[in-house]
Amino acid sequence: AQSVTQPDIHITVSEGASLELRCNYSYGATPYLFWYVQSPGQGLQLLLKYFSGDTLVQGIKGFEAEFKRSQSSFNLRKPSVHWSDAAEYFCAVGLYNFNKFYFGSGTKLNVKP
């Protein structure tokens, strides 16, 4: 069965520090990969996506993610975190030609001043 694992439930970083949020998936073929961000009480906003090609993808708000096939990972990174980045982040897997998503359980990011 397909699964998406985000091993970190909560992460706290200082403003200006770098950030890496981990995501691992379990699927037989290369899926479509996504990172979404959710502010409290709001819907989800797409940060970036990977379908094929260059394994380092750039997204909005200065985020990037790297697909590593050998590790079945799609970790999200940001070189310098801003206080406004405090939110919950979800990794998701989409299956080609099968219109469903599988979401990780999310990672809550706190940013210290």
Partner 1 sequence: DGGITQSPKYLFRKEGQNVTLSCEQNLNHDAMYWYRQDPGQGLRLIYYSQIVNDFQKGDIAEGYSVSREKKESFPLTVTSAQKNPTAFYLCASSPGQGNSRYSYNEQFFGPGTRLTVL
- Interface residues with partner 1 (CB under 8 A)? 4, 9, 32, 34, 36, 41-46, 49, 51, 90, 92, 94-96, 99-101, 103-106
Instruction: Evaluate whether 64 touches 47 at the Cβ level (below 8 Å).
Output: no
Number of helical H runs and strand E runs in the chain: 0, 12
Shorter beta-carbon distance to partner 1: residue 28 or 113: 28
Shortest Cβ 112–partner 1 spacing (Å): 22
Shortest Cβ 47–partner 1 spacing (Å): 12
Shorter beta-carbon distance to partner 1: residue 9 or 17: 9
Residue 21 CB neighbour total at 10 angstroms: 23
Q: What is the CA radius of gyration of the chain?
A: 13
Shorter beta-carbon distance to partner 1: residue 17 or 46: 46
Shorter beta-carbon distance to partner 1: residue 83 or 96: 96
C-alpha separations of 54 from 82, 86, 112 in Å: 27, 28, 33
Shortest Cβ 15–partner 1 spacing (Å): 25
Distance CA 20, CA 92 (A): 16
